[in-house]
Structure 1
């Protein structure tokens, strides 16, 4: 577990397990932000947040085009309580990583995510956490 993730309180970890949605911010090639609502999972033991999406989606393309330096932010909010997970992101279509992402998504949301033929997982290695009320 990363040192940043180790600092999360039990309340924050519980909040991240609730069936919520988040905003997912990536950077377009011109440097402007792209913000999209997403469902995601957070694996505290690995320090990874995961978002499943289509390979051709703007968010996946932004991460891919950003290369190894691609940074993203996920922000889940409920009223005045919120938590933002920031980190480096990578897009992967490996079937093992996809199965892990789909399994965690299904456990969190009670149903499997959409399964387009070009399904990929964006894995975010969380290295910064900001929050309020948690």
Structure 2
């Protein structure tokens, strides 16, 4: 079922506010999918999803390589599921390194996951500009 990225149903948004481990799918330089567990926050007002991670991770390298070749960023998907409920957000990701973006993403993560992330001087944010939402919540 398709959803409006900027105006999700209350049920869909509530599902994205529950505490769930998600997956992030990026593409390796050879085109094969790279799928890893992550924490994701969804901001429908801005049309963004955010993932905090280490700047030296494979997912960041995949996005930087792809974003260099694709206008607007690398094509990615984030997904979560619980039983028969599932939700996927798709869009174009860029890597944000500035302190304000990292602090904002950390605060959003803490709100959703109920814990402040461990300090990490190598933390960056994958900011995904969303263009597609699917799922059954």
Q: TM-score range by the shorter chain?
A: over 0.9
* Runs of 4 or more consecutive aligned structure 1 residues displaced over 4 Å after TM superposition: none
Q: Provide the secondary structure at the position in 1 that maps to 2:46.
A: coil
Distance apart, 1:89 and its partner CA? 0.3
Distance apart, 1:114 and its partner CA? 3.1
Aligned residue in 1 for 2:65:
65
Specify which of 73, 79, 82 is matched with residue 78 of structure 1.
Answer: 82
Deviations 1:23-49 (A, max 9, x none): 110001110000000111111110110
Q: Provide the secondary structure at the position in 2 that maps to 1:6.
A: coil
Q: Tell me if 1:89 matches 2:75.
A: no
Specify which of 123, 126, 129 is matched with residue 125 of structure 1.
Answer: 129
Q: Tell me if 1:44 matches 2:44.
A: yes
Larger mean CA deviation between 60-69 and 24-33 belongs to 60-69
Aligned residue in 1 for 2:20:
20
TM-score, normalised on structure 2? 0.91
Q: Distance in 2 between matches of 1:64 and 1:113?
A: 23
Contact 1:52–1:113 under 8 Å retained in 2: no
Q: Distance in 1 between matches of 2:28 and 2:114?
A: 32
